[in-house]
Chain A
Amino acid sequence: MNPSQDNQSQSDTDSASQKKELSRRDFLRSCLRGSAVVGIGGVIGVATARSSAAGSVWQIDPAKCTACGRCAEACILTPSAVKCVHAFAMCGYCKLCTGFFDNQPHKLNSGAENQLCPTGAIVRTFVEDPYYEYKIDEPLCIGCGLCVKGCSSFGNGSLFLQIRHDRCVNCNQCRIVDRCPSQAVRRIPAAQAYIIKGKEPKR
């Protein structure tokens, strides 16, 4: 290659202007990069102040829940991660439990035709006259809330729905939140993952 003098100077100025333009672009780019770093840092700063390391879980606030039954089908899990739980300290241990028995039971025994629960997930055991204890067989419970409705309408309201965290996969957006008519599902700190009604017995 043996370029003429003229061509040489032409290419020189070309490369010089290119270099200058490139460096200007690079400078702009660095400025933008710097501001992006500052922006990300700002988000970290603001958000860190409002974040917790423990994380959070979804839970139903029993004070708001109306046991509408949507939990049973709204959850991505089948059966739902929502199950009925029992605050025994609140329970009246009634012989005629409106959470256990159908509207007009034929007999006050645990025959399937008398039960409200579609899956027979409530176990009724005799304690002492006239008291009966009601326990939830959780693997059978589908979270339909029929018993919860029965208990809170006519009884003490000791049966209530909770998201069970041994099942919940903690979706980023809980499907139940979008379906819940009373906005009873919210995120709570994972360290205190349940909202249990009434008071727990000391033992």
Chain B
Amino acid sequence: MRRGLAIFVLLAAAQFAGAVERFPPPDFSSHVLPTTATPMPARWGVSWLDVALLAATLGGAGYFALVRRSRRGLVILSLAALAYFGFVRAGCICPVGAIQNVSAGLTLSDVFLSLPLLVYVLLPLATALVVGRAFCGAACPLGAIQDLLLIKPLRVPQWLAQPLGMLPFAYLLTASALAAIGGQFIICRLDPFVGLFRAGHSAVLAVVQAAWPVTHQPMPSWLVAVPSAEVSGAVTLAGLAVLAICTVIARPYCRFLCPYGAILSPLSVISYRHCTVTPAECVRCRLCEKACPIDAIRPPTPELPASSRLAGKASLVLVLALLPLLVAAMAWAATRFAPALASLHPAVHDARVVAQGGNSPEFDAMLGSGLSPGQMMERAAVLQSHLRDAMAIAGGLFGLVLWVKLLARSLRRRRLDYTIDKSACVSCGRCFRYCPIELQRLKRIGRVQ
């Protein structure tokens, strides 16, 4: 009876698995069936250790940037972050890419969101509210590698830097919209540094392996990750190009692409505290003017003639009136990208491949799944319309960001001192030693007039 039940269960399971029992399994009298090994995962994504290390690094960054005002401390922290988050964890997972997990986790019912990962993403954001973008300057491996590679910083002219500075917002919103419908994680896919981190990870491990104690205990195989598919290909070429650019342009990824920076920078603007160029009062000596390689130090504003007041007011009114137009235009423009972007969803991609006809693994998979090409296209159309909605929201938000930027430009604020632009500053501490007041504080020089 039990045996019959077992066979029934087996048959049912086989049916479910799409398998057919063409040859009944033999009933051995003496032979014992081997078991199917199921080695357990060595690591499950983000662990609490990663969270603890991130928290410690962020705390250290705040301390070195605000209390100790030590560039050296910040550099040491960022090297440690590069070593651990970059080369030990092979650059995966990072809060930058994990935004997509949160986006998918919030909208899709079948996506798991682990608690450490959530904390890992939100910890730098919370820190930004307290001390600014300390994450970028000291805890982010992507930031660290860019900072290290900088040899001779060239200025990016404002007319170019301002529009390029909008890219991170577009990237963030597009990637979140795509992740929200279950599409590819393009931030992970287009990360220019992950190939380097993985290659470095393997190189480090090769050394460790060579020095591994001569016992019969093999190294855990999850440690022996040799990337090959990722290191070849267009993305890696782009990665090398970005690395080359990093030598002359400071933090190009941080400033002009990083989607996480697009969240951190507005939070940093309203931060409770932030590091400053000078430890006390600015004496307007202009020594820090060229200190910042990412142009985050704003000079005092020139005195404007009273006659320009009216023109300024007119442009302000114009910008204020522009809001609905900008939001609507951007929402509409973003939906135009939906059909092309939808291909980055596996189901849409497969439906399109099948629709093209011909024999393909996608076609075989369709035959196995019992769906008709029509049903696949229907599903693809539904997903595409979801993406269109998500992109409309993303585009509207982008319009809003654009409007806020325009508004900030048309508002005239008197700046008397050299001040830090909190939205751009990554608290790298480069400017500290340029300030004579700082040198005075450190007792390197005498009293400054």
Give the B-binding residues of A (Cβ under 8 A).
29, 32-33, 36-37, 40, 43-44, 46-48, 50-57, 62-64, 66, 68-70, 73-78, 85-94, 127-128, 131, 133, 135, 138, 152, 154-158, 164-173, 175, 177-178, 180-183, 186-187, 189-190, 193-194, 196-201, 203
Measured between beta carbons, the chain B residues less than 8 angstroms from A88 are 33-36
Contact present for A44 and B22 (CB under 8 Å): no
Q: Quick one: given A63-B17, A182-B368, are A198 and B10 in contact (CB under 8 Å)?
A: yes
Does B308 have its Cβ within 8 Å of any Cβ on chain A?
Answer: no
- Total A-B Cβ pairs within 8 A: 249
B270 interface hit (Cβ, 8 Å): yes
- What residues on A are CB-neighbors of B189 within 8 Å? 173, 178
Whether the Cβ atoms of B98 and A172 lie closer than 8 Å is yes
Q: Report the Cα distance A186→B347, complex, angstroms.
A: 13
Q: Are A170 and B31 in contact (CB under 8 A)?
A: no
Q: How far apart are B273's CB and chain A's nearest CB, in angstroms?
A: 11
Stretch at the interface among B275-283, B321-329, B359-367: B359-367
Since A55-B112, A89-B33, A90-B10 are in contact, a sample of 9 more A-B pairs with Cβ atoms closer than 8 Å, ordered by chain A residue number, is: A33-B272, A55-B116, A70-B361, A152-B19, A166-B222, A169-B222, A172-B98, A189-B112, A201-B33
List the A side residues contacting B220 at CB < 8 Å.
166
**Chain B residues with Cβ under 8 A from A199's Cβ?**
6, 9-10, 13
Among residues of A, the one whose C-beta sits closest to the C-beta of B350 is: A181
- How far is B110's CA from A17's CA once the two chains are assembled, in angstroms? 56
Q: What B residues does A190 contact at CB under 8 A? A: 41, 44
Task: Report A10 CB to chain B, min CB distance, Å.
Answer: 15
Known: A43-B106, A187-B112. A172 touches B45 (CB 8 A): yes
**Contact between B26 and A131, CB atoms less than 8 A apart:** yes
Shortest beta-carbon distance, B98 to chain A, in Å?
7
Q: Which of B97, B98, B129 has the most CB of A within 10 A?
A: B129
Are A29 and B270 interface neighbours, CB within 8 A?
yes
CA distance A114 to B188 in the complex (A): 42
User: Are B25 and A76 in contact, with the CB atoms below 8 A?
Assistant: no
Q: Among the listed B24, B225, B365, which residue makes an inter-chain contact with A77, where contact means beta carbons less than 8 Å apart?
A: B225
- CA distance in complex: A128, B29 (Å): 10
Q: Which of B17-43 contact A (CB under 8 A)?
A: 17-26, 28, 31-43
The answer to whether B365 and A200 have CB atoms under 8 Å apart is: no
Is B70 on the interface with A (CB-CB < 8 A)? no
* Residue of A whose beta carbon sits closest to that of B367: A66
Q: Which 4 A-B pairs have the closest CB atoms?
A: A92-B23, A157-B19, A182-B365, A55-B44
**Residue from A43, A186, A187, A197 in contact with B13 in the complex, judged by beta carbons closer than 8 Å:** A197
- Complex formed: what's the CA distance from A36 to B264 in Å? 11
- The interface residues of chain A lying within 8 Å CB-to-CB of B244 are none
Chain B 67-106 against A: per-residue CB contact (8 Å), 1 yes, 0 no?
Answer: 0000000000000000000000010110001101110011
A32 vs B269: C-alpha distance when bound (angstroms)? 10
The chain A residue with its CB closest to the CB of B110 is: A186
Task: Output the least CB separation between A144 and chain B (Å).
Answer: 13
* Any A CB within 8 A of the CB of B118: yes
Shortest beta-carbon distance, B38 to chain A, in Å?
Answer: 5
**B410 contacts the other chain (Cβ, under 8 Å)?**
no
Q: Contacts A43-B102, A48-B118, A55-B116 known; A73 to B34 CB distance under 8 Å? A: no
Q: Is the CB of A156 within 8 A of B364?
A: no
Residue pair B229, A74 in contact (C-beta under 8 Å): yes
**Does B255 make an interface contact (CB < 8 A)?**
no
Q: Could you show 9 A-B contacts with beta carbons less than 8 Å apart?
A: A69-B361, A92-B23, A127-B31, A156-B23, A182-B361, A183-B350, A187-B111, A190-B44, A199-B6
Nearest chain-B residue to A171 (Cβ)?
B92
A37-B129, A77-B227, A170-B43 known; A156 and B20 CB under 8 Å? yes
- Identify which of A66, A78, A138, A186 contacts B229 (C-beta below 8 A): A78
Q: Report how far A128 CA is from B92 CA in the complex, Å.
A: 49
Pick from B13, B28, B222: contact of A167, CB below 8 A.
Answer: B222
- A interface majority secondary structure: loop
Residues of A within 8 A of B361 (CB): 66, 68-70, 181-182
Instruction: Tell me the nearest residue of chain B to A199, going by C-beta.
Output: B10
Contacting pair A93 B368 (CB below 8 A): no
In the bound complex, residues from chain A placing their C-beta under 8 Å from that of B365 are 64, 66, 68, 181-183
Contact A157 B18, beta carbon cutoff 8 Å: yes
Task: Report how far A182 CA is from B376 CA in the complex, Å.
Answer: 11
B17 partner residues in chain A, CB cutoff 8 A: 62-63, 157, 197-198
Q: In angstroms, how far is the closest chain A Cβ from the Cβ of B131?
A: 12
B115→A52 contact, CB < 8 A: yes
Q: Is residue B240 within 8 Å, beta carbon to beta carbon, of the partner chain? A: no
Query: Is B34 touching A135 in the complex (CB atoms < 8 A)?
Result: yes
Q: How far is the CA of A156 from the CA of B21 in the complex (A)?
A: 5
- Within 8 Å of chain A (Cβ to Cβ): is B355? no
Give the distance in Å from the alpha carbon of A57 to the alpha carbon of B43 in the complex: 9
Once the chains bind, are B226 and A78 in contact (CB under 8 Å)?
yes
Which residues 217-233 in B have Cβ within 8 Å of A in the complex? Answer: 220-222, 225-230
**A156/B19 in contact, CB under 8 A:** yes
Would you give the shortest CB distance from B96 to chain A, in whole angstroms?
10
Q: Determine the residue in chain A with the shortest Cβ distance to B183.
A: A178
How far, in whole Å, are A94 and B37 apart by their CA atoms in the complex? Answer: 22
Separation in Å of the A149 CB from the closest CB of chain B?
A: 10
The answer for the CA separation of A4 and B24 in the assembled complex, in Å, is 108
Given known A-B contacts A48-B118, A57-B44, A170-B43, A127 and B106 have beta carbons under 8 A apart? no
CA of A155 to CA of B38, assembled, Å = 23
